[in-house]
Structure 1
Amino acid sequence: MLPCSASTRAAVTGAGLEPSGRQPDGVPFLTHPPPTSDGGSAVPARTPLDDERDHLAASRAALRAMRSDVEALDISDVTANWVNAEVLASEIAARIRSLADLAGTPLFFGRLDYEESLDEDGESGHRFYIGRRHVHDASGDPMVIDWRAPVSQPFYRASKRDPLGVALRRRFGYEGGDLTAYEDEHLTDPAEAATGSALLQREIERPRVGPMRDIVATIQPEQDEIVRAGLGGTVCVQGAPGTGKTAVGLHRVAYLLYTHRERLARSGTLVIGPNRSFLRYIEQVLPALGEMEVKQATVDELVARVEVRGADGAEAARIKGDARMAEVLRRAVRSGVRMPSEPVMVVRGSRRWRVPAHELEEIVRELASRDLRYGSAREALPQRVAHAVLVRMEQAGEAPDDRVQNAVARTPAVKAVVKECWPQVDPAKLVLRLLSDADFLAEQAEGILTPDEQKAILWERPPRSVKSARWSPADAVLVDEAHDLVERTGSLGHVVLDEAQDLSPMQYRAVGRRCSTGSATILGDIAQGTTPWATESWAAALAHLGKGRAGEAVIEELTQGFRVPRDVIAYASRLLPAIAPELNEATSIRESAGSLAIGRVARDDLDEAVVLACRTALENEGSIGLIAADARVPALAAALAAGGLSHLAPGDETSREARLTLVPASLAKGLEYDHVVLDEPAAVVSGEPDERTGLRRLYVALTRAVSGLAVVHAAPLPGPLAD
């Protein structure tokens, strides 16, 4: 563990307190002197810790007062109608929720004293307490500064080399919501050597029980740069396991909402995760930061225009997810456009107005050549035909206006032209035909997909209707693409896409449509790509997303690990040359090397040995994850039950009834547990379509541990791990 800094020791002893030694994690606690020999207790002098506790109590009281003030607002006579009243009431309710005092969550976690404000007694006139939200007193003076405010930035970035005007940075230690310790860094004192933070290490290594928590007190400089990047551009984060990329993405959302609240309130924000278990795991992070209204969804939920009841083989899914399918769909959507064969005759009163077929053809061809949505062009066609009629009316000496043009556009003759030349398209029915009709697919995919690829994506048994079709997740993405070709998809202000390395090009396009006029934060790790279409480069992914133009996006790499212990990440990194040789190996800043145990047992004893490993892991504090190949999960569930060990399913970690979670390897991505028991690595690898994908799945499973990893196997370990 990192040593307590000299300034911390000085603060402790100078306050009349003594370090009580260290907890198991090595963090100094500030305690009162021991009782006197006569059984009484010496009355300690007032300490800086007492002052900080007073400020915490006063800040909590001020927060309660802020909430009471909002609750007391009378809006009965301030709105013009009931609609405005409902909107205002909703906003007030959201404000009340955001001012909730979470008893177990520290209200502030740091303090900054600026150098230029220190007087001769060392007291600061510019002292700022940094916390999760802004708190002010009855006079409006700040008691706690929101961590996202510009004045809070030096808390994360100031250093001995560049103190940014900060003379003293103080970190606070908590147990639950109670302030128990503090630690000082005098950034401008040349006599004090730069040392690591024991409180920071303690927070990083604190046991993980329940859902994911925020990292607002432990954000590192390289993470803070990403969190505070501007709204205008897209940021892509390549992060090794345990580097905090998910937390960085969520804190970036909170920062952007703070900085651009009005803009994002109008346009909206969205967090996209790989599955519902993952979203349940992270769902408490943003509320803990005071952000209650951010929506969350999976990619499958994003494109849910048809009911998904089927599944594709790996090859069919790969082809359907290929970006070439976008051009096939574009052709299919436009395949129904026909050139007119007859002139149109419009009757207005006693006169008839004729537009010849060649002129109609020019109108249709011009619309077809423009980059318009199919539906928008279809809506424009009757107006263009009507305009041609109005030109003839004006040439005849009449003076028609817009109302006449609209009336002409609605005449049966013009409607018949539109129906003939630009028929309506139902996206789901179009994709159904494309995947059912070999001739139609061959016509639209000519020169794009090979005959074998076309055969691979055709349904063996064509369904009778859209409702009876057994749509696969990849089919749903195609329907979403076709829908966008017909009618533009609405865009949000900002989208966070996590575990992005597993998306297909067509899925990237689906996400990109949701932020076509906004920006995005893309989070992932190439080495953890486990789908047949997994991303091979972030440049290609950004291009599919629609953010690949020069200067539109930046790619950042996080390699400093905070979650995975040194020995565990080093062991898992043996796989990198085989799965992602271009990536840098992650380094852990954890002082604890972590525990790593690898044991081979007889095949008949495997289940019993895994249960024993889980039982041993439960002797430690924190959460336990038993990760296994999906096919092994039922057998292990039965073995745990027989052994009397209750367990949870992924995403149910909010329950306190059990600390052990049985995790299928396919759902392990993005999750973390204090101790991981990994069952049969060879089965994890063989459960995937190919060895490289299997080794990537194994890499994910190996890097879920926060404190310890136990590998139990009967079959030989995969090659890179065998030594």
Structure 2
Amino acid sequence: MTSPDPLLITSLTQERAHHDTCRAALAAMVDGAQEHVFTGEDVSASGADAEVLGYRLRSRAKEMRELPEGPLFFGRLDFGGERGGAGDHAGQSYHVGRRRITEHPSAPPLVVDWRAPVSRAFYQASARDPQGVRVRRRFGWAPGSRGDSTDLTGLEDERLEGEYLEVEPLADGRLADGHLGAGSLPDGRHPEGSLPATPGGSRILASEIERPRVGPMRDIAATIQPDQDELVRADLTVSVCVQGAPGTGKTAVGLHRAAYLLYTFPQRVQRGGLLILGPNRTFLSYISEVLPALGETGVRQSTVGEEIARHPVTGEDDEAAAAVKHDARMAEVLRRALYARVGSEGAEGAERAEGANGLAVPDGSYRWRVPGEALARIVADVRAEQLPYAVGRERVRTRIVRYVRERAERRAGPQSSAWVQKISRARPVGAYVDAVWPKVRPEEVVAELLADPAVLAAAADGVLDADEQKALLWARPPRSWKSARWSAADLVLLDEVAGLVEHPESYGHLVIDEAQDLSPMECRAIGRRAVYGSLTVLGDLAQGTTPWAAREWGELLGYLGRPEAVVVPLTSGFRVPQAVVELANRVLARLDVGVPPGQSLRRDGELRMLPTDDVLGETVEAVRRALLYEGSVGVITADPDVVRVREALGGAGIEAAGVDQLGARVTVLGAGLAKGLEYDHVVAVEPAAIVEGETRGLHRLYVVLTRAVSRLDVVHARPLPFE
């Protein structure tokens, strides 16, 4: 290894000292936040104002106390003179980290937040467009560092006008003190042999990206690439759809965008709230530590099923019934079923109850008459306004009262608000409204639709064919909706009707991951919760594994209510090695989606095809070999074979955990739970069985093969389905 330059040793010593200063300042910030809670208790304000202030101070103190331990900065920007485009930052230096650190609120920051405007140059500046940056410095920290200054083991300077500072690894994998390397060329390329082919030509960057993964997902604030940064910093009002090939960091982009929006637009986002939607709880557990590491706690992370869960899921649909229930046409069927309760039949019943000539509304000893024609006109006008069902019901009542009030004021002058309330509560008015526009529960509508062939036939006429209607009907209808066994698909139907009755509250922003697997009806449920907010939609059409998975983004975005959202492809991966990507591309070529083949900037990694007559025995040996390396090992098999594979590993003395134990060294999981997860070494067991396990089995296999970020073993006794 080249001897370290004395100047670089001095630089490293200075940076360690700066980190100690930052650590002391952060501790003071934590103590100060708690002190503000105590002083805020004595604030002179109204009870409500004091309560709000106290909540904010306590939340701030809690957030500061719960900051994860770790290095406080990962980069530094040194700006040149004004001629270089540095503007107000000319001659300044800024350390870049996961949160702002300062010794005093009015003092210059010791560390600037990665989301601050000035930090953008750390991700975007290049030799072609230096953005006023003279030197960009990256810091190398020992793996697993908890933020001790001694863990700062390397640094690397990129002089955008031509030089960079290179670091070399020590034998234990840490980074050594750097030395001055060859310069970069004016177009940003590096001389042959000066650096490996890594993102940005940076060994520290490559080391961080390729670091072994054990446990939950980490943030990528130190390694965000320019195209990712553009997506992260898109304006709050912009809805974006990221079509991301495996290993391109689409999930990380979505989470960092959430953190950026909370930092940049705190009041606007927090007013409506921010929601992260994932495919399942395992996935949400995997990503749960990313936002707290970026200083954002308390963000709701959920699944679509949890958001719409009016009842526990106790029933189950066959594939045909589930497919119809998730179909977009069900929205029209449900609308008809709901509004079949409104209209002439109800009006006629009310007229018979109150007299053939309309309503007689008592006002003391006098009776105000509302003709039947006027009532019918009121109902028709309200229906034409297409209001939420509950709003329409009250609008009918209000307009009946208005009709009476106008006549009363002609006769006796202005009427008081108490008089208006008395007329509104009059029994004939209430009876008519209940008859013509009755109160209704979503459960009543859906249960009647699924239990009564005549009701379903009327609502589905011209929308669903006879076979589809037959698939929908319950084989054994319950006595009432209260005893119904609701399936997961039924909950989607209930949410649709609930949205017709009354609009749910809208979030300020939603991040939706693995969106390609959402059904049209699930998309409508999400769209109702984003009427006044924006969306970040993440997914990969090639990884769509549900029967209703999207084939193209335009239609799905329309169901979400965001047809104008721009689809941005991410095709260059940094996590999955090229050999693995090439194998996955062979599967991709057989899928029915218009997705370009993925590509990887990593030329390392290992792929081994292991044909055998003893699948379990070869799987055990593959795991033994994988354990010789650092990092996590994921053994992915067809869902029915999980127990058998885990028992084989246990019998060989290898402890294997379930997918819910994120810190385990070896995990055995079914292919159905693999989406969104990643392991350093993946052992894919019998691809043919994985493909046969479901209708879109090749898509599932594509997911399985792309979970490996360093090495992939494919164990099989049967012919490979992509050969």
Fold agreement, TM-score > 0.5 = yes
The answer to whether structure 1 residue 299 and structure 2 residue 265 are counterparts is: no
How far is the alpha carbon of 1:472 from its aligned partner? 1.4
The answer to whether structure 1 residue 597 and structure 2 residue 600 are counterparts is: no
3-state SS of paired residue (2:510): strand
Q: What pairs with 1:554-593 in structure 2 (closer than 5 Å)?
A: 554-592=566-604
**Amino acid across the alignment from 2:98:** R
The answer to whether structure 1 residue 660 and structure 2 residue 672 are counterparts is: no
Match of 2:114 among 130, 147, 153: 147
Alpha-carbon contact 1:625-1:677 (below 8 Å) kept: yes
Q: Distance in 2 between matches of 1:206 and 1:87?
A: 43
Match of 1:349 among 364, 370, 377: 364
The answer to whether structure 1 residue 469 and structure 2 residue 435 are counterparts is: no
Q: Distance in 1 between matches of 2:379 and 2:549?
A: 41
How far is the alpha carbon of 1:104 from its aligned partner? 4.7
The answer to whether structure 1 residue 628 and structure 2 residue 637 are counterparts is: yes
Q: Deviations over 1:176-218 (max 9, x none)?
A: 1321100011102386334400001000100001100000000
Alpha-carbon contact 1:59-1:135 (below 8 Å) kept: yes
Alpha-carbon contact 1:70-1:92 (below 8 Å) kept: yes
Give the equivalent residue in structure 1 for 2:657.
648
Q: Deviations over 1:235-285 (max 9, x none)?
A: 000000110000000000000000100111111000000000000000000
**Amino acid across the alignment from 1:487:** E
Give the equivalent residue in structure 1 for 2:180.
none
Match of 1:334 among 333, 336, 339: 339
The worse-fitting range, judged by mean Cα deviation, of 571-580 and 474-483 is: 571-580
Q: What pairs with 1:260-339 in structure 2 (closer than 5 Å)?
A: 260-339=265-344
Q: Distance in 2 between matches of 1:591 and 1:110?
A: 26
3-state SS of paired residue (1:610): helix
Alpha-carbon distance change, 101 to 476 in structure 1, aligned in 2, over 3 angstroms = closer
Give the equivalent residue in structure 2 for 1:673.
679
The answer to whether structure 1 residue 484 and structure 2 residue 490 are counterparts is: no
How far is the alpha carbon of 1:361 from its aligned partner? 0.5
**Amino acid across the alignment from 1:650:** V
Give the equivalent residue in structure 2 for 1:443.
458
Give the equivalent residue in structure 1 for 2:29.
66
How far is the alpha carbon of 1:102 from its aligned partner? 5.5
**Amino acid across the alignment from 2:607:** L
Q: Deviations over 1:109-135 (max 9, x none)?
A: 00001111799xxx9840011100001
**Amino acid across the alignment from 1:57:** D
**Amino acid across the alignment from 1:132:** R
Alpha-carbon distance change, 412 to 675 in structure 1, aligned in 2, over 3 angstroms = same
- Structure 1: gaps of 5 or more residues: 18-45
Match of 1:618 among 599, 611, 627: 627
**Amino acid across the alignment from 1:666:** G
Q: Deviations over 1:112-161 (max 9, x none)?
A: 01111799xxx984001110000112352111000000000010011111
Q: Distance in 2 between matches of 1:84 and 1:65?
A: 27
Q: Distance in 1 between matches of 2:632 and 2:411?
A: 84
The answer to whether structure 1 residue 698 and structure 2 residue 701 are counterparts is: yes
Give the equivalent residue in structure 2 for 1:57.
20
How far is the alpha carbon of 1:13 from its aligned partner? 4.1
Alpha-carbon contact 1:166-1:188 (below 8 Å) kept: no
Q: Distance in 1 between matches of 2:674 and 2:581?
A: 16
Alpha-carbon distance change, 172 to 380 in structure 1, aligned in 2, over 3 angstroms = same
Give the equivalent residue in structure 1 for 2:694.
688
Give the equivalent residue in structure 2 for 1:37.
none
The worse-fitting range, judged by mean Cα deviation, of 466-475 and 421-430 is: 466-475
How far is the alpha carbon of 1:406 from its aligned partner? 2.2
Match of 1:379 among 375, 379, 394: 394
Give the equivalent residue in structure 1 for 2:5.
14
How far is the alpha carbon of 1:436 from its aligned partner? 1.1
Q: Deviations over 1:303-337 (max 9, x none)?
A: 10122112222222111111111111111110111
The answer to whether structure 1 residue 218 and structure 2 residue 209 are counterparts is: no
Match of 1:192 among 184, 197, 210: 184
Alpha-carbon contact 2:40-2:57 (below 8 Å) kept: no
How far is the alpha carbon of 1:651 from its aligned partner? 3.2
The worse-fitting range, judged by mean Cα deviation, of 670-679 and 378-387 is: 378-387
Alpha-carbon contact 1:63-1:101 (below 8 Å) kept: no
Give the equivalent residue in structure 1 for 2:169.
none
How far is the alpha carbon of 1:82 from its aligned partner? 5.3
Alpha-carbon distance change, 86 to 643 in structure 1, aligned in 2, over 3 angstroms = farther
How far is the alpha carbon of 1:379 from its aligned partner? 1.2
Alpha-carbon contact 1:154-1:166 (below 8 Å) kept: yes
3-state SS of paired residue (2:111): strand
Q: What pairs with 1:393-412 in structure 2 (closer than 5 Å)?
A: 393-412=408-427
3-state SS of paired residue (2:77): strand
How far is the alpha carbon of 1:397 from its aligned partner? 3.5
Q: Distance in 2 between matches of 1:641 and 1:13?
A: 48
**Amino acid across the alignment from 1:68:** D
- Structure 2: gaps of 5 or more residues: 164-182, 191-200, 352-357
How far is the alpha carbon of 1:395 from its aligned partner? 2.7
How far is the alpha carbon of 1:563 from its aligned partner? 1.1
Q: Deviations over 1:396-440 (max 9, x none)?
A: 234323332222011001001001101111101211111111110
How far is the alpha carbon of 1:394 from its aligned partner? 2.2
How far is the alpha carbon of 1:586 from its aligned partner? 1.2
Q: Distance in 2 between matches of 1:300 and 1:101?
A: 29
Alpha-carbon contact 1:242-1:564 (below 8 Å) kept: yes
Alpha-carbon contact 1:309-1:471 (below 8 Å) kept: yes
How far is the alpha carbon of 1:16 from its aligned partner? 5.5
Higher relative contact order (CA 8 A, sep 6+): 1
Alpha-carbon distance change, 101 to 274 in structure 1, aligned in 2, over 3 angstroms = closer
Q: What pairs with 1:509-524 in structure 2 (closer than 5 Å)?
A: 509-524=524-539
Q: Segments of 4+ in structure 1 off by > 4 A?
A: 81-86, 100-104
**Amino acid across the alignment from 2:227:** E
CA-based RMSD = 1.9
Alpha-carbon contact 1:62-1:136 (below 8 Å) kept: yes
How far is the alpha carbon of 1:391 from its aligned partner? 1.7
Q: Distance in 2 between matches of 1:83 and 1:307?
A: 37
Q: What pairs with 1:167-186 in structure 2 (closer than 5 Å)?
A: 167-175=134-142, 176=145, 177=147, 178-186=151-159
Match of 1:237 among 239, 242, 249: 242
Q: Distance in 2 between matches of 1:640 and 1:332?
A: 54
Q: Distance in 1 between matches of 2:651 and 2:51?
A: 55
3-state SS of paired residue (2:412): coil
Alpha-carbon distance change, 137 to 308 in structure 1, aligned in 2, over 3 angstroms = same
**Amino acid across the alignment from 2:584:** A
Q: Distance in 2 between matches of 1:636 and 1:467?
A: 42
Q: What pairs with 1:452-467 in structure 2 (closer than 5 Å)?
A: 452-467=467-482
Give the equivalent residue in structure 2 for 1:716.
719
Q: TM-score, normalised by structure 2?
A: 0.90
Q: Deviations over 1:472-494 (max 9, x none)?
A: 11110110010010011110000
**Amino acid across the alignment from 1:107:** L
3-state SS of paired residue (1:706): strand
The worse-fitting range, judged by mean Cα deviation, of 66-75 and 77-86 is: 77-86
Q: Distance in 1 between matches of 2:251 and 2:674?
A: 14
Q: Distance in 1 between matches of 2:447 and 2:469?
A: 14
Alpha-carbon contact 1:383-1:406 (below 8 Å) kept: no
Q: What pairs with 1:428-439 in structure 2 (closer than 5 Å)?
A: 428-439=443-454
Alpha-carbon contact 2:90-2:132 (below 8 Å) kept: no
Match of 1:249 among 234, 254, 263: 254
